[in-house]
Amino acid sequence: MSRALRVLVGLAPLALGACSARLSSSLPPPAPPPSYVGAHAGVIDVAALEQELGMLEDALGALTARRSPVPVRLSRQGGALALSFGSAESFGGAGAQLDPGALAVYAELARILASRPGTVAHIVVRGDAALPSSDAALGLPARRAAALHGYLTTRGLPGTRVRAEGRADADAEAIEVVVKPIVAGREAEAWVPPS
């Protein structure tokens, strides 16, 4: 090997070391991995939980007090709030299309929930899954739950904060929206479906 080549080979580690130092110093610091549990949602401190639930209960209580073609009842279930809506008045038939008279009630629900980012809304629609359906793969309760989910999200409630499911129950038709708070340190509990 010639002397010039040996000098170049000897200088190569120094040149590479200087090059990598410049590259690493110009890179931004690594970002923490994203967390999707609280994505697009606020988190409520444990100390403020009762106050937050009280304010949410007041806002939802105003929804139940207004004159509407859809009856709405509000109750507390432990650390969550449950709203029961009239099924026949919400859908007005055997289909999964919301009745025009019910749209204002659900739009107001979406507005209230969108203004409280520390919550997750669980839509549970019960009904006879064996009823005739235009989509044989989905029963009527699942289609109605999907319709409600779609309407609430088009009215401003982020889809990451809404869960919907249809449950087969031949004995009762019901629409329930359970609102769970996202509590700091127990965030994942807000996304667990109600029983």
pLDDT at 35: 43
Q: Strands (DSSP E) along 34-118, which ranges? A: 72-77, 80-85
- What range does the domain containing 155 cover? 46-191
This prediction's pTM: 0.75
Cα-Cα-Cα-Cα torsion 70, 109, 63, 87, nearest 10 degrees, comes to 20
Number of domains composing the chain = 1
What is the rounded distance in angstroms from the CA atom of residue 37 to the CA atom of residue 118? 12
Q: Which of 18-27, 109-118, 181-190 has the lowest mean pLDDT?
A: 18-27
Provide the pLDDT confidence category of residue 34 given band limits of 50, 70 and 90: very low
Q: Is 10 within the bounds of a domain?
A: no
What is the rounded distance in angstroms from the CA atom of residue 56 to the CA atom of residue 145? 23
Q: In what order do the strands lie in the sheet with 72-77?
A: 72-77, 80-85, 174-181, 119-127, 162-168
CATH number of the structural domain spanning residue 93: 3.30.1330.60
Mean pLDDT taken over the chain: 82
Q: SS3 for 94?
A: coil
Question: Is the model's pLDDT at 104 over the cut of 80?
Answer: yes
Q: How many CA atoms lie within 13 A of 100 on its CB side?
A: 0
Q: Is 15 within the bounds of a domain?
A: no
Contact between 161 and 113 under an 8 Å Cβ cutoff? The reply is yes
Residues listed for the chain: 195
Q: Is 111 within the bounds of a domain?
A: yes
Contact between 156 and 111 under an 8 Å Cβ cutoff? The reply is yes
Q: Is 114 within the bounds of a domain?
A: yes
**pLDDT > 90: percent of the chain:** 55
Q: Tokens in use for 121?
A: 């809304």
pLDDT at 33: 45
63 vs 24 pLDDT, higher one = 63
What is the rounded distance in angstroms from the CA atom of residue 123 to the CA atom of residue 96? 14
**Angle, to 10 degrees, between the axis of helix 103-114 and the axis of helix 49-65?**
160
- What's the whole-number mean pLDDT along residues 41-47? 82
Report the sign of the C-alpha dihedral through residues 96, 99, 102, 106, in that order: positive
Q: Provide the pairing of β-strand 174-181 with 80-85.
A: antiparallel
| Amino acid residing at 103 | L
Q: SS3 for 164?
A: strand
